[in-house]
Amino acid sequence: MSKYTLSIASSPFPQTHQTKPTPQIIQNDLQHTFKSPFELKQIHAQIIKTNTHPSILHLPHVASVCALTPCFPYARKIILLSGNNETAIWNTCLKQFAESSSPDDAICLFNRLCEYGVCLDDFTISFVLKACTKLSDCLSGRVIHGFIEKLGFQSNLYLQNSLVHLYVVSGEVDNAHQLFDKMRDRDVVTWNIMIKHLVKRGNVDDAYRLFVTMPERNVRSWTSMIMGFVKNGKPKEAIELFSKMEGEKLCPNEVTVVAVLAACADLCALDLGKKIHDFSNRSGFKTNVRVCNTLLDMYIKCGCLEAACIVFDEMEQRTVVSWSAMIQGLAINGRGEEALRLFSKMIQSQIKPNEVTFVGILHACSHMGMVHEGREYFASMSRDYGIVPEIEHYGCMVDLLSRAGLLKEAREFIKNMHIKPNGVIWGTLLGGCRVHKNIELAEEAIKHLLELDPRNDGYYVVLSNIYAEAKRWEDAARVRKLMKQKGVKKTPGSSSISLDGVVHEFVAGDETHPQTEAIQERWDTLLEEMRLRGYVPNTSVVLLDIEESEKVRFLFRHSEKLAVMFGLINTANGAPIRVMKNLRVCEDCHAALKLISEIVDREIVVRDRNRFHCFKNGVCSCKEFW
């Protein structure tokens, strides 16, 4: 509260020797600072006392302070007295509400404006539509639509576009199309809205067709389309489109950078990611938190934790997203203690953790076997931070317990969950059963999985592996037969490696690559040295019904091996090799890559479906905790 308000409040009978506030003081100190109609009235009283013109008050502030209170008519009076355009003042206020974190305030205010007969214009409508869009409130939207007709704004392109956007966002597809079809004029904004609309519905192909045929494209159109590809699992297409955009001499902005970096993260395309990073710095995007967060994520997903740390340290502002990304990055790289330390630092920095932060924290615990800590953090998240655990958090707990060999406890935990367990939960338990060789529980898990997620080949494969490792070949064969019966096919293993901006992909068993011979040669040479160091091929991971020698042959053509050989051939001595795999790394490849990292004295980073394995000097960062 200001000193001025205090002096009034504390002395109902102002003493004569007290200096009267001059209009200047009112203007400088108070016009922006009053926070309630009560304070406003006190100031107004002074204005009257000192015979000052009311226009000295900052009217949009007067409006927003009184808008939703019983003092609305009072504010109106002041505004009318000031001789300003009332509609413009309320519009400013509406805009502020619409852009705030509670856009429903704008809708309340709009209702009041109608109630009191305030004159509405097209700006008024546009702001209240913005609020409806933010809230996906198409019920209010329809009312506003009515106002547009009543007030004769039907042909205002801004409002038409806003309406189409609202209908699109709130899922009223038919209404959106009807409006779109009726529009006499359309501009690039209209087309961009339609692109977003299709991309939302997962219809990237149609979106792209529209993108190609629309009469005009600007940076936002390109960015939306690039983002559309990324969001729909087509990062390669996203990057291809980005190079086309560069060819058009259009300048990428912050959002474009975010989209392309996300594509790089998905593809593990570190070289392009670095280029975009340079471009971003040169363009002055360094202060943009979202750009920095996406950069962080890109470096983490490319296995460059050190680069991520530098970005993180240099950030001017860090949000909960930055901290969570970093915690997760450390966690999946087997640096759990550091992840937990970072969490403490985050709390010290007064940043409130959210549900995602705790996914990272629990990952850190489960990947390090820190059962006690994991339990404590799980309890703490709802107790200390009011975050209700979601299925992902339960999944982390099942993972934590079952990795640590506490399978029965994991089973009990699932029984006591407050949410119905999904396939991921049972699948996690199944994974634990494999590591700790518990066939009985595995069979229980698979029963649930056959019900919940029968099309997912991964679960059959794990169960079959469990049987194979226990030398129960008939059971293993039975599982594979079951897969066949249900028409479930094993997803082929596939690994990729990015070199000079080109992503090279290797599918297990592939012998068609132009460098196949060189890859084979390199492998054979390494194999000799590996055998000397004790490597024995582990064919139990091969689930095909083939001869042992064929199994070995296939094992040696696992995609991650091929990709790493390719990397060794095509990069400088000593350069790290980064490979991404679509499934989990198999045990045999894991053992082989440990040895290879030692023999060739290189760092080999493999990002698999679950985490990173950083092989260096014969050991892996996962410390055998998968």
Residues that bind DNA (CB under 7 A): 85, 87-88, 91-92, 95, 121-124, 126-127, 130, 133, 156-159, 161-162, 165, 187-190, 192-193, 196, 218-221, 223-224, 227, 253-259, 262, 285, 288-291, 293-294, 297, 301, 319-322, 324-325, 328, 354-357, 359-360, 363, 390, 392, 395, 424
Q: Among residues 541 and 605, whose Cβ is nearest to DNA?
A: 605
- The overall longest dimension of the chain from CA atoms, in Å, is 107
Contacts for 625 with CB less than 8 Å, ≥ 6 apart:
334, 366, 367, 368, 369, 403
Query: What's the min distance (Å) between Cβ of 164 and DNA?
Result: 9
Orientation angle between helical segments 559-570 and 516-532, nearest 10 degrees: 100
Query: What's the min distance (Å) between Cβ of 3 and DNA?
Result: 31
How many C-beta atoms lie closer than 10 Å to residue 88's C-beta? Answer: 15
Two tokens at 504? 């090279």
How many C-beta atoms lie closer than 10 Å to residue 557's C-beta? Answer: 20
Q: Among residues 110 and 285, whose Cβ is nearest to DNA?
A: 285
Query: Element (H or E) spanning 207, and its range?
Result: helix 204-213
Q: Among residues 5 and 293, whose Cβ is nearest to DNA?
A: 293
Give the span between the Cα atoms of 19 and 184, in whole angstroms. 65
Q: Among residues 47 and 169, whose Cβ is nearest to DNA?
A: 169
Two tokens at 317? 């502002």
Two tokens at 330? 């450390």
Tell me if 565 sits within 8 A of 523, measured CB to CB.
yes
- Cα angle, residue 230 at apex, residues 227 and 233 outer, rounded to 5°: 150
Nearest CA to 602 out of 590, 611, 594, 592 is that of 594
Give the span between the Cα atoms of 65 and 58, in whole angstroms. 11
DSSP for 273-296, please give it: HHHHHHHHHHTT-TT-HHHHHHHH
Give the span between the Cα atoms of 124 and 87, in whole angstroms. 8
Query: What's the min distance (Å) between Cβ of 443 and DNA?
Result: 24
Query: What's the min distance (Å) between Cβ of 534 and DNA?
Result: 34
How many C-beta atoms lie closer than 10 Å to residue 265's C-beta? Answer: 22
Q: Among residues 254 and 443, whose Cβ is nearest to DNA?
A: 254
Tell me if 409 sits within 8 A of 401, measured CB to CB.
yes
Query: What's the min distance (Å) between Cβ of 54 and DNA?
Result: 20
Query: What's the min distance (Å) between Cβ of 362 and DNA?
Result: 9
Query: What's the min distance (Å) between Cβ of 490 and DNA?
Result: 21
Two tokens at 614? 């950083």
Query: What's the min distance (Å) between Cβ of 49 and DNA?
Result: 31
Q: Among residues 219 and 499, whose Cβ is nearest to DNA?
A: 219
Tell me if 579 sits within 8 A of 496, measured CB to CB.
yes
Query: What's the min distance (Å) between Cβ of 259 and DNA?
Result: 7
Q: Among residues 392 and 443, whose Cβ is nearest to DNA?
A: 392
Nearest CA to 551 out of 562, 538, 569 is that of 538
Q: Among residues 43 and 239, whose Cβ is nearest to DNA?
A: 239
Two tokens at 430? 């199944």
Residue found under tokens 């009034």: 8
Q: Among residues 223 and 333, whose Cβ is nearest to DNA?
A: 223
Query: What's the min distance (Å) between Cβ of 520 and DNA?
Result: 35
E strand intervals along 342-486: none
Give me the amino acid identity at 70.
P
Query: What's the min distance (Å) between Cβ of 587 and DNA?
Result: 21
Q: Among residues 293 and 438, whose Cβ is nearest to DNA?
A: 293
State the Cα torsion 378-384-390-393 to the nearest 10°: -20
Give the span between the Cα atoms of 544 and 617, in whole angstroms. 33
Residue found under tokens 């209209």: 190
Q: Among residues 310 and 320, whose Cβ is nearest to DNA?
A: 320
Query: What's the min distance (Å) between Cβ of 270 and DNA?
Result: 16
Query: What's the min distance (Å) between Cβ of 330 and DNA?
Result: 12
Q: Among residues 231 and 490, whose Cβ is nearest to DNA?
A: 231
Give the span between the Cα atoms of 607 and 265, in whole angstroms. 11
Query: What's the min distance (Å) between Cβ of 564 and DNA?
Result: 24
Two tokens at 538? 């582990």
Nearest CA to 423 out of 387, 368, 462 is that of 462
Q: Among residues 396 and 604, whose Cβ is nearest to DNA?
A: 396
Q: Among residues 290 and 434, whose Cβ is nearest to DNA?
A: 290
Nearest CA to 420 out of 396, 394, 459 is that of 394
